Structure 1
Amino acid sequence: MNTIALFPGSFDPFTKGHEDIVLRGLRLFDEVIIGIGRNARKERYFPLDQMIPLIEEAFKKYPAVRVISYDDLTANVARSEGATFLLRGLRNTTDFEYENGISQVNRYVYEEVETVFLITSPHLAPISSSIIRDLHRYGKQVDEFLPYKLTNQPV
């Protein structure tokens, strides 16, 4: 029986911290699906049609990783993809408080799903998508925080 984990997030952008969670997740699961959730209330900084191919390129050597986008409840997507695990990374206790509530709701929607938390590797803990967006927005290079090269570098 294949164990499938859905790694959900907005990934705006997908960082080396996210990459670390996926690669470590591959030691636990047969397949990891990176699910980019669409949020109608939030406008993306990095367009989805740019982010998906960049993430796919970053994992081209890993056939057990695939990338999808979705506009639904995460638990519903996990069920439809055959995933019985949700994979999440935690940088700190604030992340845990936030993720704990979400994991309870996901279990309410899809009883068979388990959320697995991996603690972020220490050297990657300071990295967040919001910090990277701010750096990029104000013209700073961000490639050292990403597992791919951006095509729209700051001027």
Structure 2
Amino acid sequence: MGERIGIYPGTFDPITLGHLDIIRRGAKLVDKLIIGVTTNPSKNPMFTPTERMDMVTRELATQGIENVSVIGFNALLMKFAEKQGASVIVRGLRAVADFEYEYQMAGMNQQLNDRIETIFLMADVSLQPIASKLVKEIALFGGDISDFVTPSVRDDVVARVDQLGRLGEY
């Protein structure tokens, strides 16, 4: 049997402590974990695909996880997974609301390629409320995001908010 390759896909806009937790734990389950940074323009990203890939790469370097790489993609996830030789898709779950969507996606992906399994990892309890969308929203309103991202990601987000302008402050 060959090398077991997993894909952890997402927009990572920005990468959060929750993402890093799933990456750390997912990397233990496979020989090689590919972080697939997708474009997904429907999510109105704060950072470009290149900026997000660079951010994820930088954060992984500080974690000391050896068997993880970062690849950008703009394709159907299952096609990307096939091209990378992956046999596993890693997905993180924060709450029951995530499960319904992820369950539907896993079912559709299985219809597209039943040789690739989807595994779900529950986020650490302390990290479950963290969502990139909320991190950006808090930052855009001038709130402190230090509990949700690493210091370097916080600096990236604050710098981008300074460029974009805050939405308001109370």
The TM-score normalised by the length of structure 2 is 0.84
Task: Say yes or no: does 1:151 pair with 2:136.
Answer: no
44, 56, 68: which one pairs with 2:71?
68
Q: Structure 2: which amino acid aligns with 1:122?
A: V
Find the aligned partners of 1:65 and 1:117 in 2 and give their Cα distance: 18
Find the aligned partners of 2:83 and 2:94 in 1 and give their Cα distance: 29
| Number of residue pairs aligned between Structure 1 and Structure 2 | 155
Find the aligned partners of 2:45 and 2:102 in 1 and give their Cα distance: 21
Find the aligned partners of 2:43 and 2:50 in 1 and give their Cα distance: 16
Find the aligned partners of 1:40 and 1:47 in 2 and give their Cα distance: 10
The TM-score normalised by the length of structure 1 is 0.92
Distance 1:90 1:151, change over 3 A: closer
Distance 1:28 1:37, change over 3 A: same
Find the aligned partners of 2:101 and 2:73 in 1 and give their Cα distance: 21
Higher Rg of the two aligned structures: 2
Alpha-carbon RMSD across the aligned residues, in angstroms, is 1.5
Partner of 2:113: 110
State the SS of the aligned residue for 1:151.
Answer: helix
Partner of 2:83: 80
State the SS of the aligned residue for 2:156.
Answer: coil
Higher helix share: 2
Pairs within 5 Å for 1:2-41: 2-41=3-42
116, 126, 149: which one pairs with 1:123?
126
Between stretches 124-133 and 135-144, larger displacement belongs to 135-144
Find the aligned partners of 1:44 and 1:124 in 2 and give their Cα distance: 21
Partner of 1:140: 143
**Percent identity at matched positions?**
31
Find the aligned partners of 2:42 and 2:25 in 1 and give their Cα distance: 31
Deviation at 1:48, TM superposition (A): 2.0
Find the aligned partners of 1:148 and 1:53 in 2 and give their Cα distance: 15
Distance 1:106 1:98, change over 3 A: same
Find the aligned partners of 2:151 and 2:3 in 1 and give their Cα distance: 29
State the SS of the aligned residue for 2:118.
Answer: strand
Deviation at 1:42, TM superposition (A): 3.8
Find the aligned partners of 2:156 and 2:43 in 1 and give their Cα distance: 23
Q: Structure 2: which amino acid aligns with 1:87?
A: V
Distance 1:26 1:87, change over 3 A: same
Partner of 2:55: 54
Distance 1:50 1:143, change over 3 A: farther
Distance 1:91 1:141, change over 3 A: same
